[in-house]
Amino acid sequence: MTEKLAIEFMDDMFSIIKAKRRDISEIEKIIKIDFEKNVVFFFKDKGYEFQLVDNVYDPINRYRLDKQSDNFKRGNDYYLPKFKIVPWEFVVKFEWWKTGNQNPTKVYWHPEEMTLETFYNKNLKRAFKLI
């Protein structure tokens, strides 16, 4: 392949990449509309009713459970699983603090890595059974 053909090939590949990025951006705009609602519904369907925590000054929404469980108690406070949704990055950060642990457990879910169902089964199901 001559240098001219190699540069033309490279230019063609970059134009394809640019077009795909535009397509991905358009698809992400559509997904962002219901991303948060779909995550909350997923857990509701599993039997966990997460409540939105009012936070007027922060665009990141936080959700928590309104239950009590001695498995998540430290002193007089309960640290049940809660999560934050960063919709513009499609990231959901889960956090909980079990009785006896020195530090909270934190796990992150991003849909490009695995499905929410797989993430729930691998990372959350055991902790949620303690509720």
Q: What is the pLDDT of residue 120?
A: 94
Distance in angstroms (rounded) separating the CA atoms of residues 60 and 25 = 21
CB 96 within 8 A of CB 81: yes
- The domain tally of the chain equals 1
In a domain, 21, yes or no: no
Residue among 128, 60, 52 at smallest CA distance from 95: 128
Q: What range defines the domain where residue 41 resides?
A: 34-128
Q: What is the pTM of this model?
A: 0.77
Residue 89: inside a domain:
yes
pLDDT (0 to 100) of residue 12:
92
Asked whether residue 110 is domain-assigned, the answer is: yes
pLDDT for 74: 74
| pLDDT for res 80 | 82
| pLDDT at position 97 | 85
Task: Check residue 119 and give its pLDDT.
Answer: 94
20 located within any domain: no
Could you give the CA distance from residue 64 to residue 72 in angstroms, rounded to a whole number?
Answer: 13
The pLDDT of residue 98: 83
Whether 23 maps to a domain, the answer reads no
Q: Tell whether 118 is covered by a domain.
A: yes
Q: Could you tell me if residue 13 is inside a domain? A: no
Q: What is the dihedral of CA 121, 125, 126, 130, to 10 degrees?
A: -170
Structure confidence at residue 1 (pLDDT): 61
pLDDT mean by block of 10 residues, the chain; 131 residues: 83 94 91 90 91 78 84 79 86 88 88 93 88 80
Q: Give the start-end residues of each E strand in 42-104.
A: 50-53, 61-65, 73-74, 77-78, 82-86, 91-96
Q: Is residue 15 part of a domain?
A: no
